[in-house]
Amino acid sequence: MRGGLPHPGAPMAALLAALCLSACATSPSMPSPRQLEPAQRLPDIPDAFRAELLGGRSPDCRLRGNAVYLGQGRFLTAAHLVDDMVPRLRHCSGIQLEPTVVFGGYSLPVRLLRVGEGHLEPGIGPIYRKGEDLALLQALTVPAGPAAVPCPSGPLPGQDVVVRSAQRRAVARAGGMVAEDRAADGAYADLPIHLEQGESGAGVFDAQTHCLLGVVSHRPDDTPGHSRIVPSAAIRAFLFEERAAGAGGQLAGAPAPEDEAARAGAPPAGEAAGAGGTRPAAGRMAGRSPPPAGPGV
């Protein structure tokens, strides 16, 4: 996405533009989750899955973003909201704030279960292995309410989607896949909608079934009015790896990605992406410089 944190004349502005929020280190481990008092169950619609994420460092690197509730006290968000990318770029100091998720009327302290593997690439900013700009958080208590389930595949080009963040509820049609330069760094799904600073980690849902199609990422795009999301194939693989590692047991909606796609009659992730073509990462093709700075998500 375009735009970013205002920093006129500074060499780091292009890097900061790809990020929307500060990040912080993980909190100490917590005991097993306990069940909150039952609350009225909401319909299984995107609005019911949305959570806000707060934390960072005080006073200069406060964090605010979005997360998606997966059930069992677990929340999915963007990795760049909880890793050390922004503090490293901004040379932040200050007091570490305990990460907190606000969901269903509760403020829930959370700890980090799993985070995508990323690094800072000169002139580009954060790059995540396999495109996994994702983080899985565990709350101390288990809130009542519906849980989002990742879609078996998608989004496909032209598919109707709903973006639900703290700032908006918007309907759009998904674009094609945008590959990174290196195959190991995966690809992101294009979304022809302008998202604002602070919308990272928001869920993108199928407009009909309400399954989770993606999570809003940080990646810049040199096309005005376009954003990037981590697609469902990457989400399912990320959650499956966490479950396989035995870090948290069974996760809602996270069977082996290839098995689930086969059962649903969906093509493998690579074939699904091919339906609309996979284009090179915007602004990073041979002979082109990175896109100009703009507000990140």
**pLDDT > 70 fraction of the chain, expressed in percent and rounded:** 66
- Please compute the mean of the pLDDT values over residues 149-163 and round it to a whole number: 94
Give the pLDDT confidence score for residue 280 in this predicted structure: 45
- Please compute the mean of the pLDDT values over residues 168-191 and round it to a whole number: 92
64 three-state secondary structure: strand
Q: Are 152 and 143 in contact (CB under 8 A)?
A: no
Assigned fold of 160-280? Thrombin, subunit H (2.40.10)
What are the pLDDT digits (tens) for 252-292?
444 444 444 443 334 443 333 333 444 444 433 222 333 33
What are the pLDDT digits (tens) for 33-42?
555 554 455 5
Task: Supply the pTM of this predicted model.
Answer: 0.72
What are the pLDDT digits (tens) for 80-105?
888 877 777 777 877 877 889 999 88
Q: Are 239 and 203 in contact (CB under 8 A)?
A: no
Give the pLDDT confidence score for residue 146 in this predicted structure: 85
Name the residue among 24, 32, 123, 19 with its Cα closest to residue 82.
24
Question: Looking at domain 13-26+41-142, which CATH architecture does it have?
Answer: Beta Barrel (2.40)
Question: Is the predicted pLDDT of residue 75 greater than 60, yes or no?
Answer: yes
Within this chain, domains 13-26+41-142 and 160-280 share the same CATH topology: yes
Name the residue among 62, 42, 31 with its Cα closest to residue 141.
31
- Please compute the mean of the pLDDT values over residues 179-196 and round it to a whole number: 91
Would you list the domain boundaries of the chain? 13-26+41-142, 160-280
